[in-house]
Amino acid sequence: MTAAAAPPRWDRKMQQRLARGEEAALGELYDRFAPLVHSLAHRVMDDEDAAAQITREVFGYIWENPDAYDPKRGSLRSWVAGITQRQAVHRLRQASCPDESNPEEIEARIREASAAARADYIVDSMPAPLRAALDLAYRKHRDYRQTAAVLGVTEDEARRRLRLGLQLLSTAVDQPRRGGLL
């Protein structure tokens, strides 16, 4: 999304509702983004309890700071993912640094978790046809011909979808965001 592009209508309405203190809005936001928040936190922390705690903290922060979201900087989903990533990385550093004698190892683990979290986010955000093609090829081990047959598209279209999906995924590793965050 470019800085000049308007955020989705749902994002603007949700921010307004949160700013007015509508508890139902927080519930809707939680229903929509809790799986994303939890999976990102779990990917970084590799700990179920820590991921659950981070999920609570992220939604607590959103409830207390709805005006921190700037629609000009991206979607609400991206903002929530960024908060999650920063909180999880902060927690990982807190948990690891005092006991850890190798800060390079911790940073490498954070970079690896960040790239994996970005990849998860990219897959979740990509159009359904690309996601379906990647799922068939990589999780179900189908080649492009089999993928085309299952999806009911031409082999050229299946190859195109796989190529585009892989190009999107390559950005998770090739082009890390500022500060390694989403």
pTM for the whole structure: 0.64
Taking the chain (182 residues) in consecutive chunks of 10 residues, what is each chunk's mean pLDDT? 56 92 95 91 88 96 94 85 89 69 73 76 82 90 94 96 90 54 38
1.10.10.10, 1.20.1250.20, 1.10.1740.10, 3.30.465.10: which CATH number matches 9-110?
1.10.1740.10
Predicted pLDDT at 154: 96
Give yes or no for a contact between 36 and 121, defined as CB atoms under 8 angstroms apart: yes
- What residues have CB less than 8 Å from 81, skipping those under 6 apart? 36, 37, 40, 117, 121, 182
Alpha-helix residue ranges (DSSP H) falling in 46-182:
48-64, 76-96, 103-125, 128-134, 144-151, 155-174
Break the chain into its structural domains and give their ranges: 9-110, 126-173
Please give the helix or strand (H or E) that residue 2 lies within, else none.
Answer: none
Could you count the other beta carbons within 10 Å of the beta carbon of residue 54?
26
